């Protein structure tokens, strides 16, 4: 059984790492926050003091950090993974960081003969905890095949989206464009219905059973009605960052993204007003402008 390493034990990484522990793997992990390391150790993981300790003797290391700068530092910075990972081992980067950073990291790893899989993920904290993530993996077919048993521990729907490192980032960027636009439409729809006098519960029930009813819509709508805007596992900073990556890719490719551009502006407004809250907080901006509140009606 392979030795597994994890760098980044936040909302996503912690759930993924714990699934390996439940499956009987030896798992080492590192995070900058002491409380996360303690949580990981309590679950049976081996907490470390830096990334290099994670890489030592690990066959596969997952990196789940916020952005490209963090990912590059994890790999090649002081006490980075490059100092200890062995040739033939594999780094699986599940963070959304964009094309240029992923290519930079690929080149760094090639110098030492370390394999790489670039795999965006979808499913949120719930999917990470349950081991049911959708995974968009790119990299050589041989490396992907050799890591299939590893990916199965954390993913339910696992797709090989391309031989070229970076295609996982592209697929995730396309997905986030649709997610962002869907969030924006969801928030506007709930505020419109509420302002016009329809009970939010009725609106959610009808739309949830319609052609556009999705887990994304139902989860967002229910959290809004319950007025839960913090610690739900979907911090606004992550989505804002992802939409920025999507829009940069669109600019590079010369593709107009009208709906995604509007969503990006709303997330900019949301993160400015509520920097510590989750995606659904944006609805409060629309509520303030419309003079209504989307909440359960007890009548």
* Residue range(s) defining the domain that contains residue 111: 4-164
Residue 265 clears pLDDT 90, i.e. is over it: yes
CATH at residue 144: 3.40.50.720
What percent of the chain has a predicted confidence (pLDDT) above 70? 99
Do 157 and 26 have their domain in common?
A: yes
Do 17 and 142 have their domain in common?
A: yes
**Distance set, CA 78 to CA 27, 48, 51, 105 (Å):** 22, 15, 9, 15
| Average of per-residue pLDDT across 9-31 | 96
Q: Are 65 and 51 in contact (CB under 8 A)?
A: no
Q: What confidence category does residue 297 fall into, taking pLDDT thresholds of 50, 70 and 90?
A: confident
Number of domains in the chain: 2
What percent of the chain has a predicted confidence (pLDDT) above 90? 97
Do 81 and 206 have their domain in common?
A: no
Q: Is residue 75 part of a domain?
A: yes
Do 197 and 130 have their domain in common?
A: no
Do 153 and 196 have their domain in common?
A: no
Do 223 and 126 have their domain in common?
A: no
| Average of per-residue pLDDT across 90-104 | 96
If DSSP codes are grouped into helix, strand and coil, which group holds residue 135? strand
Q: How much is the pLDDT for 1?
A: 80
Query: Which of 114, 132, 164 is a domain's end point?
Result: 164
Give the catalytic positions in this structure: 172
Do 41 and 79 have their domain in common?
A: yes
Residue 186 clears pLDDT 80, i.e. is over it: yes
Distance of CA 251 to the CA centre of its chain: 22
Q: Is residue 296 part of a domain?
A: no
Do 156 and 240 have their domain in common?
A: no
Query: Which of 124, 142, 164 is a domain's end point?
Result: 164
Do 110 and 227 have their domain in common?
A: no
Task: Write out the two tokens for 134.
Answer: 């959708």
Residue 77 clears pLDDT 90, i.e. is over it: yes
Q: Is residue 295 part of a domain?
A: no
Q: How much is the pLDDT for 299?
A: 54
Q: How much is the pLDDT for 78?
A: 95
**Distance set, CA 166 to CA 16, 104, 150 (Å):** 22, 10, 20
pLDDT in tens, 118-175: 999 999 999 999 999 999 999 999 999 999 999 999 999 999 999 999 999 999 999 9
Do 150 and 245 have their domain in common?
A: no
Alpha helices in the chain (DSSP H): 11-22, 34-42, 51-55, 68-76, 99-110, 124-130, 141-146, 148-154, 167-195, 200-208, 215-225, 236-253, 258-273, 282-290
CATH at residue 243: 1.10.1040.10
Do 246 and 175 have their domain in common?
A: yes
Task: Write out the two tokens for 6.
Answer: 């994890």
Query: Which of 164, 194, 221 is a domain's end point?
Result: 164
From the number of C-beta atoms within 10 Å of its C-beta (0-12, 13-18, 19+), residue 50 rates as: middle
From the number of C-beta atoms within 10 Å of its C-beta (0-12, 13-18, 19+), residue 132 rates as: middle
Q: How much is the pLDDT for 118?
A: 97
Map tokens 């139902």 to a residue. 218
Q: How much is the pLDDT for 296?
A: 87
Q: Is residue 298 part of a domain?
A: no
**Distance set, CA 247 to CA 68, 241, 243, 258 (Å):** 16, 10, 6, 10
Q: What confidence category does residue 50 fall into, taking pLDDT thresholds of 50, 70 and 90?
A: very high
**β-strand partners of 4:** 27, 60
Q: How much is the pLDDT for 233?
A: 87
């Amino acid at each position: 059984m392979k030795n597994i390493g994890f760098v980044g034990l936040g909302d996503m990484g912690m759930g993924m790492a714990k699934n390996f522990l439940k499956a009987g793997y030896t798992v080492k992990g590192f995070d900058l926050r002491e409380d996360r390391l303690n949580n990981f150790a309590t679950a049976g993981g081996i907490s470390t003091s830096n990334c290099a300790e994670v890489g030592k003797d690990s066959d596969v290391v997952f990196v789940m950090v916020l952005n490209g700068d963090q990912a590059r530092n994890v790999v090649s910075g002081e006490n980075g993974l490059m100092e200890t990972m062995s040739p033939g081992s594999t780094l699986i980067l599940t963070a959304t960081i964009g094309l240029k950073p992923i290519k930079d990291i690929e080149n760094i790893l090639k110098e030492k003969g370390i394999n790489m899989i670039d795999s965006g993920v979808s499913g949120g904290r719930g999917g990470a905890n349950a081991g049911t993530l959708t995974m968009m993996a790119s990299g050589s077919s041989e490396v992907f095949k050799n890591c299939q048993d590893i990916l199965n521990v954390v993913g339910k729907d696992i797709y090989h989206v391309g031989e070229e490192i970076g295609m996982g980032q592209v697929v995730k960027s396309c997905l986030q464009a649709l997610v962002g636009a869907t969030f924006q439409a969801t928030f506007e729809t709930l505020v419109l219905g509420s302002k016009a006098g329809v009970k939010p519960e009725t609106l959610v029930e009808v739309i949830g059973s319609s052609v556009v009813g999705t887990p994304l819509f139902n989860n967002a709508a229910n959290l809004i009605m319950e007025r839960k805007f913090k610690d739900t596992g979907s911090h606004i900073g992550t989505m804002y960052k992802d939409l920025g990556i999507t829009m940069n890719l669109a600019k590079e490719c010369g593709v107009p993204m009208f709906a995604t551009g509007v969503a990006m502006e709303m997330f900019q407004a949301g993160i400015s007003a509520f920097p510590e809250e989750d995606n659904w907080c944006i609805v409060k901006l629309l509520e303030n402008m419309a003079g209504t509140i989307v909440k359960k009606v007890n009548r």
